[in-house]
Amino acid sequence: MTESAAMPEEDSLAKVKLVLASASPRRLALLRQIGVYPDHLHPADIDETPRRLEHPRFLARRLAKEKAERGAEKVRVLPDLENALVLAADTVVAVGRRILPKPVDEDEARECLRLLSGRTHKVYTGVCLINAKGKSHHKLVESRVRFERLGRAVIEAYLQSGEWQGKAGGYAIQGRAGCFALQISGSYSGIVGLPLAETVELLTTQNYPVFEHWQKDEV
């Protein structure tokens, strides 16, 4: 290895710390996929109820911002994290302007799947990154998914799998429900829960060493 291509020192990679304000294993897995390992996980518990007549795209953006703000409030008092970047995201599934919930039971999940069956729906994912000065930076990604027509037996089998639990719209595109999708337009990772291209853009503009970590991993 030439001197000009020498690897960054460990201290240089540790200057900027990252907190993920989410309990989602999917978002953590997506970050790890691109070599980003948050220094701290701090799930943000907020009220996710849509406001009256709120458009799904605005809901996704608002909830991502509120999660990041709540996470930032909590970690600023923790040792070594007072200057950390705080990242949060939220995903909203919608048919037209109708926002589909994270089903609380099989009946609600069944209704979601019936509504999605044989039609195209939109998935909005908002991402928010708060820097050490408390300034928030945002991205909103819109994707489209067209489902095949789902028969009654297929819906019931999916409900029995339990995969719908805790998922916006009652399904997980990265799981068994991947076979329902006839067409996807937009960000696949955004549909899963965190649009990677946009997230990397946010991180790098705040001097988080995404690509330097790649070099370190390859040693």
Q: What is the rounded CA–CA span in Å between residue 159 and residue 165? A: 9
Residue 35 Ramachandran class (φ > 0 left, ψ -120 to 50 alpha, else beta)? left
Angle of CA points 212, 38, 88, to nearest 5°: 115
Q: Which of 39, 90, 107, 217 is catalytic?
A: 90
Note the pLDDT of residue 217.
55
pLDDT digits (tens, 9 = 90+) for 119-168: 999 999 999 999 999 999 999 999 999 999 999 999 999 999 999 999 99
In angstroms, rounded to a whole number, what is the distance separating the alpha carbons of residues 54 and 67?
Answer: 18
Cα gap 155→45, rounded to integer Å: 30
The pLDDT confidence band at residue 14, using thresholds 50, 70 and 90, is: low
pTM for the whole structure: 0.89
User: Can you give the pLDDT at residue 15?
Assistant: 78
Evaluate if residue 6 carries a pLDDT over 70.
no
What are phi and psi for residue 61, nearest 5 degrees?
Answer: -65, -45
Cα–Cα distance for residue pair 126/195, rounded to 1 Å: 9
DSSP label of 134: S
Residue 9: how many CB atoms within 10 A of its CB?
Answer: 9
**In the prediction, which pLDDT does 5 show?**
31
Check whether 1 has a pLDDT greater than 60: no
Give me the CATH code for the 6-218 domain, please. Answer: 3.90.950.10
Query: Catalytic residue at 90?
Result: yes
Domain boundaries, the chain: 6-218
Helix boundaries (H) for the chain: 10-13, 25-33, 56-75, 106-116, 152-161, 188-192, 196-205, 210-218
The pLDDT tens digits for 70-85 are 999 989 888 889 899 9
pLDDT-based confidence at residue 9 (cuts at 50, 70, 90): very low
Report d(CA 214, CA 175) in Å as an integer: 27
